[in-house]
């Protein structure tokens, strides 16, 4: 007689290590860009203003609303970081990404512009 009982395994949902590594690398990039004198002062204001909004008790969506209150803070952190990096000089950002070992030569909004010519080898 065969045993027909089934065992259920409970799997805990663990965060993707590549996502956590990307978040950590982005925070390191922001830190390095904040300390770099080649980055203008105006983009550098985005980081403390974002932190001030997140730490401020005044919110667009109050933190009393459990999920939505934290979600707007997280979204602002994401967009503030992205805006800061995009407003920094691209060559400085690429330099710091390479130094951090980001592994990406180009980001999605970068391209290589060039020309080409067709050489006819039959002649």
Over residues 3-42, the pLDDT tens digits come to 555 554 555 556 666 878 888 889 999 999 999 999 999 9
Element (H, E) at 76: helix 66-87
- Say if residues 78 and 14 touch (Cβ distance below 8 Å): no
Q: Which residue do the tokens 């805006």 mark?
A: 83
- Say if residues 32 and 96 touch (Cβ distance below 8 Å): yes
Tens digit of each residue's pLDDT (9 = 90 or more) over 43-90: 999 999 999 988 887 777 776 667 777 788 888 889 999 999 999 999
């Amino acid at each position: 007689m065969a045993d027909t009982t089934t065992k259920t395994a409970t799997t805990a949902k663990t965060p993707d290590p590549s996502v956590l590594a990307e978040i950590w690398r982005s925070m390191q990039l922001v830190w390095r860009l904040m300390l770099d004198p080649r980055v203008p002062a105006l983009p550098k204001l985005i980081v403390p203003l974002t932190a001030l909004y997140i730490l401020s008790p005044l919110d667009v969506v109050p933190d009393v609303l459990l999920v939505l209150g934290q979600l707007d803070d997280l979204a602002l952190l994401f967009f503030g970081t992205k805006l800061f990096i995009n407003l920094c000089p691209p060559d400085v950002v690429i330099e710091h990404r390479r130094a951090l070992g980001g592994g990406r030569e180009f980001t999605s909004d970068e391209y290589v512009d060039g020309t080409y010519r067709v050489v006819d080898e039959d002649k």
